[in-house]
Structure 1
């Protein structure tokens, strides 16, 4: 497998995983309305990135899975909502949110590095389609990172200072 194919596969897998992780975190923190809605929005970006990567990979001899179902994993919606309501009233929920934000940030950072490697190999091999893809998608990944970083900065002082 070529180096380009490896980066495309890793990036596709990373974007799919980030999409799933964002959706799961949004469900876990349903009572944190701002987080919940923004997480679902930026999860959609990762889903779109993965679909675009899969389409671009075809012309480079790589068959990657197409669109995901965008369905949230786990128990039925009513159970998830009740659990979120119950957990939303507990102090541990804030620490869980920080943990989730940290994991989401690291996943987005990994994808950012993969986008950078894809752009570099695209330039070296004159793969204009892949360079255009990286140029179009990487800024949204950087925004995902800035969003998680901002939430970590704003939530961690109060949550960590008040942790038991």
Structure 2
């Protein structure tokens, strides 16, 4: 299997996961209207990316399932029993940000490979989808910056000491994007 096929598969899986996670976050935090509505809107971008990736993959001899054949699960089935709006929202936003970052790296890899191979179809795919993935990252980062002091700086937003925060990725050092 070629590196292009591997990258297309990684993008397909990553954008599918992003769509599902965005819809799950939208459902879990439906009381926060900005989070709910923006998450639903940007999940459509990931859905569109998946469709474009699948179509392009066909031209490269790779069959990826049609997204319509594999609909996202009901996000309510993933809802935690005792959701804490502050810490749970921040946790979800961090995970979304990391997933978007991974997709962004894969888009960049595909774009560089397409340039080197002079493959206009792959380059059009990457340059058409990557900016929306970057906007997903900017949205999550902006919310994390805005909500962290509000949610974690007040007693109401403090995490439950019994909850395992060890599963969270380490924070990004100051000064790094």
Which TM-score applies when normalising by structure 1? 0.88
Structure 2 CA distance, aligned partners of 1:160 and 1:122? 43
Greater helix percent: which structure?
1
Question: Which blocks of at least 5 consecutive residues in structure 1 are unaligned?
Answer: none
Q: CA deviation at 1:2?
A: 0.2
RMSD of aligned residue pairs (Cα, Å) = 1.9
Q: CA deviation at 1:44?
A: 0.6
Structure 2 CA distance, aligned partners of 1:43 and 1:72? 14
Question: Which blocks of at least 5 consecutive residues in structure 2 are unaligned?
Answer: 160-177
Q: CA deviation at 1:55?
A: 0.1
Alignment of 1:13-162 (within 5 A): 13-68=13-68, 71-75=72-76, 87=83, 92-162=84-154
Which TM-score applies when normalising by structure 2? 0.81
- Runs of 4+ in structure 1 deviating by more than 6 angstroms, as ranges, are none
User: In the alignment, is the contact (CA less than 8 A) between 1:18 and 1:46 conserved in 2?
Assistant: yes
Count of residues in Structure 1 that have an aligned counterpart in Structure 2:
154
